Structure formats: structure tokens, C-alpha cells
Amino acid sequence: MEKKKINNSKFAIRLPIIIAITLAAGIQIGAKFFGNKSVIGDVVKSSSKFKEILTYIDRSYVDEVDTDSLADYGIMKMLEKLDPHTAYLPAEEAELAMSELQNGFDGIGVEFNIYNDTVYVVTPLSGGPSEEVGIQSGDAIIEANGTELTGEKVNTRLIFNTLRGQRGTSVDMKIKRKGYNDLLDFTVVRDKIPTYSVDAAYLMEDKQTGFIKITRFSETTYSEFMEGLEELKTQGMKRLILDLRGNPGGYLERAVNIADEFIEGSGVLVYTDGKDDRNDRKIFARHEGDFEKGALIVLIDEGSASASEIVSGALQDYDRALIVGRRSFGKGLVQAPISLSDGSELRLTISRYYIPSGRSIQKPYESGNLEDYYGELGHRAEHGEFFNADSVQNENGKAYETVHGRKVYGGGGITPDIFVPRDTSHISRYLMELYSNNVIREFATSYANDHKAQLEKMSIDAYVKNFTVDSKMLSQIRSNGEKLSIEYNAEEFRKSKEFIQQQVKALIARAIWKDRAGLSNSFYKVVNKDDEFIKAALSHFDEAGKLGS
């Protein structure tokens, strides 16, 4: 079978993470589990049956069996009959699943999820090596450096051992992507993957609009955010764009602390409701925030989940922010992390999140039917929701009102006030082959190194305004591709030309103009110039400023 090198669509899998690099936001609420004494008798009877069967297998089954692995398998299959986010982590995986929110590491930079014995990419980490070569959400990693990553043997330990490694070393991966019959080949060079979560914080050209991008809610997110916010205020910021696109969630506390910086008073920011009253909780605004006045716009898309939905939903319910983009993922279940005696961990759904209007952000699911739940984002794409403005009308859900009477809907993510369709006009097979072979990134890095002295004489603002990726540079990219047997296609090149120019320019900027740790302001100053979300936000600030008045 001929292997092709391509890149294409996103989001064919569930976004909230069970055993991935980041945590679902809900996991921070449930610290303890309280049993229901009225059903203890039935539970003991069922567990005795399970133990009895394992004892017979261990003692009398014809072949040798690892009963620990068998028990783990049985537990995981049992939990599949519950909701999509309850999960069991064997002992060797529990610590690994938490580590990337807390420490930097060397690797390829992806969040992943294991489903049906297959490793799926949840999302490539922003600015990481996988994103740079074109790995996309929904990709299935079939093989890495000759190691098969499918089948019953696949677990978090195997994946980490295969994909992590010393920076500078490479991982050759075979990827299965929806819509393509053949496997796709990618080579990713491992690099340091830090835990910074605020990708950008800068004042835009108009000298009054701040831009802050948060990629996930990790331990340091709130302090990173506050540092960026304070810098922007001292520079004269009057209004703010908060970018939560593709943010899968993380620590709930960091998220509500950020929401509290925008919301006046001491109202409820989020609350939970479950079967056991001891798992119910209300989180209130607690202090005077640093940006309670001034127009605010929040950007979301179908990759914004969990804690991102709590922030954007609370700001929408209090009429504090205008929400721009596409309907968010719809993850509103709360998981309690329960440490078991052998070091393994049960992440049990104990309640649901509700935002101030009373809306649940959890999208519908049928217990045990994980296929439909995982494929829901693909269903949205197939039915045109990513491209059709009617998607802002989520009227299948119950109608609610914001604090000043605007109609909003529950039952499936946060519906934006202003819709922005997905742009696929630049996608071509030729572009994806350039990406999968790392041609664009390598050219930009080489160009930056060769012209560093010349470029450093410019300011970043002058570079953004005046620098052009010219025909000579594009010709070199084409030539570099041909050296790697990438067949040039004039029509596809024309389709992708402006996007290639933008990406090269942005990557050169990132290499030359270094920002403080964790930030890629120079990169976003380039790409945001042509970003349709940013254009929509800038054109609706008058409306955002009138909210609540």
C-alpha cells in the first residue's frame, strides 16, 4: 500500500481528556467520594461475584492469566456503560496522567486519548513540534518508530515510553486520518514541551485592544494571565479579546479565578449538582477584579471545553462579554479523582456543572453509547454547523436568560453571540505534504538564522507591516519540497499560497523576536492580522461595550 503524506480536518474524537496530558476541569471539584449506605449490600454482593470469578480463573483456567490485567480490563469495560468521562487509570498510569499539568517534559507535544485500543490525538500542543509538522486533532497514531500502538497492549505507559525521549531525536509515525484510505507518514523531532498556558498577551495596533490567548488551564495559568493583564493595562489597554479557542480545560480553580477578574459583585460563577448532596458546590465571585470595566470579547470554538466553557458561559450569563466563534464542545460533567489502594485511580462522575443562568453545558449522551458521543463533532461538521450561521441557534436546548434578559440556550456547549464559520479555503494536498514533511518550519527557521542580523534591525511592528514572503522564498520552499519527492501542483499551490506566506512570516517572527517565557506574541501579531475571528471581534466591540448597560 502506498503511504501518502497529507493533513486535513480536525475533531473526529471526544475532546475532554480521560488519560491525556491535561485534565478535564471537573476533576478538581471532586476530592472525596461518599458511598450510599443504602446500596452497600448490593455492591458487596456484586464485588464478591467479581472476586469469585477471578479466583476460579486464577486457580483453574487452562492457561496462565494475569488476573490484575484482567481485573483492570473488566473495570474499564464496566465504566463504559456509564457516562463518557468516568474513567479508570491503572496504577502505572495514574501519576503519568497528571504530570504534564505540573512539569515540563521532552516529547512530541500532543494530548492523546485511548479509545477502543487506538491512540487518538486530542490536540497538538500549541507551538509544539507535532503542531508544526501538521499533526491534527482526530489523528490516530498507528505506529511510532516501528512500535505498533494499537491493540490490547496499548496503555499510557507504552505511549509515553514511545513518544517521549531526548530532545533533538525524531519519531517516525504512521497516522490514520479520517477521509484517507492510506496511512500518512510524519516525522516529528522531539523538543522541550513546557507547561506555559498563556500563549500571547500583547496590545494590538490600535493601542487600545489587548489580546490574551490561553491554551489550557494549568497550575500557572492564573499567575501568567495576571502578569499579562497588568502589562496590558500599563500600556493603555481599554478593551480585551480573550482567546479560548482549542482550550480543552484543566484546573477549575484557575478558570474561575480568571472569570472573577471580569465580573462585579459576589454572584455565583458556577455550581454543581449531583445525586449525593455532599458533592454539590457553589463557587462565587470573591474579590474586586482587575478588569471589571471595559469591553470584553471571548473567542471560542468546538475545541473549547470544560473550564473554557465555564469561563465563557459565566461571562455570557452576566452580560459581561460578547462570545464570538462557534459552539463549544459541551463538557459539563464533574469527575472526582479517587485514589485506590493499589495506587490506581478512579475518576468518577459525581455531578454536573451549571453556569449562573442555570444552564448545563453538557451535551446529550446515551449511557454506553460512546461511539455517537465521540463522533458528535464530526456530525456537526457533516451537517454544516461549522460553516452555517444557523449554528448559533441551538434551539434544541432549553432557553434561558442572561442577567439582562438576553436569550441563551443550554444542553450542548456555549452558543456564541456572533458566529464565525470555519475557513478551509486554503487547505490543499500540496500544503499538507509540505507540513507533514516539515518543509515550512525548516525553511522559516533556516531563513531566520541566515538573516538574523538584518531582521533584528527592524522592530516587530515594522516587520509585521513591511516584510513580505516573496516569490524567491516561495520558490525555495517549492524546491525544498521537491527534494523530498513532494510533487509540485500549481493549482493547489495557488490555493494555499497566502496561507503559506503567512505561516512562514509568523514562524520567522517567532524565531527572531523573543517574548518573555511562554509567550509567542510575535507569532500571533502576524497570524491575527488575517484571522477571521479577530476581524469579527474588532467589528463588534461597540456591541460588547453596550452589554449590561
Answer yes or no: 304 catalytic. Answer: no
Question: For residue 270, what is its C-alpha cell?
Answer: 458556577
Does residue 412 contact residue 397 with C-beta atoms inside 8 Å?
Answer: yes
- Cβ atoms < 10 Å from Cβ of 257: 22
- Cβ atoms < 10 Å from Cβ of 230: 14
Q: Give the Cα-Cα-Cα angle 56, 60, 66 (nearest 5 degrees).
A: 75
Round to whole Å and give the CA distance between 448 and 495. 25
Strand stretches in 238-316, DSSP E = 239-243, 268-273, 281-284, 296-300
Instruction: Give whole-number Cα distances, 26 to 167, 313, 353, 365, in Å.
Output: 33, 15, 8, 17
User: Among 5, 174, 176, 331, which one carries the catalytic annotation?
Assistant: 331
Per DSSP, what are the bridge partners of residue 144? 147, 173
Does residue 274 contact residue 264 with C-beta atoms inside 8 Å?
Answer: no
User: Among 306, 360, 436, 496, which one carries the catalytic annotation?
Assistant: 306
Hey, is 261 helix, strand or coil? coil
Number of helices (H), then strands (E), belonging to the chain: the values are: 19, 21
Round to whole Å and give the CA distance between 125 and 20. 12
**Which residues lie closer than 8 Å to 535 by C-beta, 6 or more apart?**
none
Round to whole Å and give the CA distance between 299 and 315. 12
DSSP character at residue 150: B
Does residue 258 contact residue 221 with C-beta atoms inside 8 Å?
Answer: yes
Round to whole Å and give the CA distance between 507 and 439. 12
User: Among 72, 83, 199, 317, which one carries the catalytic annotation?
Assistant: 317
Pick from 250, 245, 197, 548: nearest CA to 420 = 245
Per DSSP, what are the bridge partners of residue 337? 347
Hey, is 276 helix, strand or coil? coil
Does residue 412 contact residue 330 with C-beta atoms inside 8 Å?
Answer: yes
Round to whole Å and give the CA distance between 194 and 293. 33
Amino acid letter for position 493 = F
Round to whole Å and give the CA distance between 380 and 387. 10
Does residue 444 contact residue 507 with C-beta atoms inside 8 Å?
Answer: yes
Dihedrals phi, psi of 401, to nearest 5 degrees: -125, 145
Answer yes or no: 137 catalytic. Answer: no
Question: For residue 529, what is its C-alpha cell?
Answer: 492580522
Length of the chain: 549
Q: Name the one residue in this structure whose C-alpha cell is 523538543.
A: 191
Round to whole Å and give the CA distance between 211 and 213. 7
Answer yes or no: 331 catalytic. Answer: yes
> Which residues participate in catalysis according to the annotation?
306, 317, 331
